Amino acid sequence: METVILKPLDFSENDPVIKEAVKLLKNGEIVAIPTETVYGLAVNGYSPSAVKKIYKVKGRPSDNPLILHIDKIDMLYKIANNIPDIALTLANRFWPGPLTMILPKKDIVPRETNGGLNTVAVRMPDNDIALSIIKLCGFPLAAPSANVSGSPSPTSVKHVFSDMNGKIPLIVDGEECECGVESTVVTFNADNMVCVLRPGAVTEVMLSEFAKVIIDDAVLNKPLSNAAPLSPGTMYRHYAPKAEVAIVETDDDEAFNRYVNMKGNDCFALVYNGINPPDCDYLTYGESGSEQAKNLFKKLRELDEIGVNTVYVRAPSKNGIGLAVYNRLIRAADFKIIRL
Ligand code: TXA
Ligand code: MG
């Protein structure tokens, strides 16, 4: 299959690229689309046969459910049941935006989409191209990140092409993703508390304006192999480049530099701006949390282009969006953390 990359000229419903994407999606094909977080591999979320194609091209375990992407609140009521008030409050505040909510599902959602659970994950992306496509389709788009399962999520068309060339007919070019890490995934308990299953750009502090917030254990800890996780995606090794990743956690710039320099020829580091080990090759991934989030997956892919064997990553702060960056990094490192 030939994979073409097309860039919409305007983001309206009359744009020929958007129309082509809609035509393919209505025919049950996969189209890669931009969102504000990462690129998604979209299909008709109501179509079991279309959804099955996603699992095949990604090499994704079939028990790892997909997020349904909607363009307006009406669509939420078609797919979710018994929506708690707190979910509506959060939708009102954070949609369109990088927040995914796990809600009781309606029968219209096929088991192929949600891994046979009785819940469904829903979000409204903050991207005009994605919103126009969903609106014209008239159905929600099931869309995981557009990477091969296990590799870093794609934040540019180049990344999508490198993972999906020959496997899908169309990649819609929406330039580089703003956030760079996937959406915050939350669930609600009986007391209307919000539980964060995957941290993202909608942070704990932002959510706690509206409800009591709990951070699920799996956000910072390796899941036990026999545990049934709240979010199946947390079970798998994720976001990993081919290079072996080791996280180095320390507040001390000098200690970090001494540690990586000891590695001699093997040394390659991923660091913040301005804190550069003098005797070691390195890439930087940004100073602030939002810069780090935007750059992280791009830099992990660059390590493979360079051919790095082992990379020592200076651990980011866990505050704000930093928690999302840290959460992705410890998975890329398969929880290998060196504390100095
Ligand atoms: O930002 C994003 O969320 C991107 C863009 C494309 O929207 N999508 C994304 O999808 O990251 P994916 O499939 O890579 O990650 C979805 C996560 C997985 O960890 C999955 O296990 C979890 O959401 N999830 C989906 N449905 C769920 C459900 N019903 N219950 C619990 N977790 C669920
Ligand atoms: Mg993913």
pLDDT (mean) for 140-167? 96
Confidence of residue 279 (pLDDT cuts 50, 70, 90): confident
- Residue 98 CA: nearest ligand 1 atom is 1
pLDDT 10s digits, 64-119: 899 999 999 999 999 999 999 999 999 999 999 999 999 999 999 999 999 999 99
Query: How much is the CA Rg of the chain, to the nearest whole Å?
Result: 20
Query: DSSP string of 71-100?
Result: SSHHHHHHHB-S--HHHHHHHHHH-SSSEE
Residue 90 is predicted with a pLDDT of 98
Nearest to 34 by CA among 57, 11, 62: 11
Most confident of the following: 21-30, 145-154, 280-289: 21-30
pLDDT 10s digits, 255-272: 999 999 888 777 899 998
Helices (H), the chain: 16-26, 48-58, 73-79, 85-94, 111-114, 128-137, 157-164, 204-207, 253-261, 289-306, 322-332
pLDDT 10s digits, 206-223: 999 999 999 999 999 987
Confidence of residue 135 (pLDDT cuts 50, 70, 90): very high
Query: DSSP string of 302-314?
Result: HHHHHT-SEEEEE
- Residue 69 CA: nearest ligand 1 atom is 7
Query: Residue 102: CB within 6 Å of ligand 1?
Result: yes
Residue 134 is predicted with a pLDDT of 98
Is the Cβ–Cβ distance between 293 and 180 less than 8 Å? yes
Confidence of residue 233 (pLDDT cuts 50, 70, 90): low
What 88-96 contacts at long range (C-beta under 8 Å, 24+ apart), as own/partner pairs, is 89/210, 89/211, 90/186, 90/194, 90/207, 90/210, 90/211, 91/124, 93/210, 94/202, 94/206, 95/123, 95/124, 95/126, 96/124, 96/125, 96/126, 96/127, 96/131
Nearest to 285 by CA among 313, 319, 249: 313
d(C-alpha 117, C-alpha 100), whole Å: 16
Window from 123-137, 223-237, 298-312, 322-336 with minimum mean pLDDT: 223-237
Q: Whose CA is nearest to atom 19 of ligand 1?
A: 233
Q: Using the predicted structure, report yes or no on whether residue 277 has a pLDDT greater than 90.
A: no
Residue 103 is predicted with a pLDDT of 98
Residue 276 is predicted with a pLDDT of 77
Mutate which of 182, 184, 219, 321 for ligand 1 pocket (most atoms within 8 A of beta carbon) = 182
Distance 254 CA to ligand 2 centre (A): 35
Confidence of residue 328 (pLDDT cuts 50, 70, 90): very high
Q: How much is the mean pLDDT over the chain?
A: 93
Q: Using the predicted structure, report yes or no on whether residue 317 has a pLDDT greater than 80.
A: yes
Residue 235 is predicted with a pLDDT of 58
For residue 207, the 8-state DSSP code is: H
d(C-alpha 94, C-alpha 16), whole Å: 30
Query: Residue 184: CB within 6 Å of ligand 1?
Result: no
d(C-alpha 242, C-alpha 301), whole Å: 9
Torsion angle of the four alpha carbons 259, 262, 267, 268, in this order, in degrees rounded to the nearest 10: 20
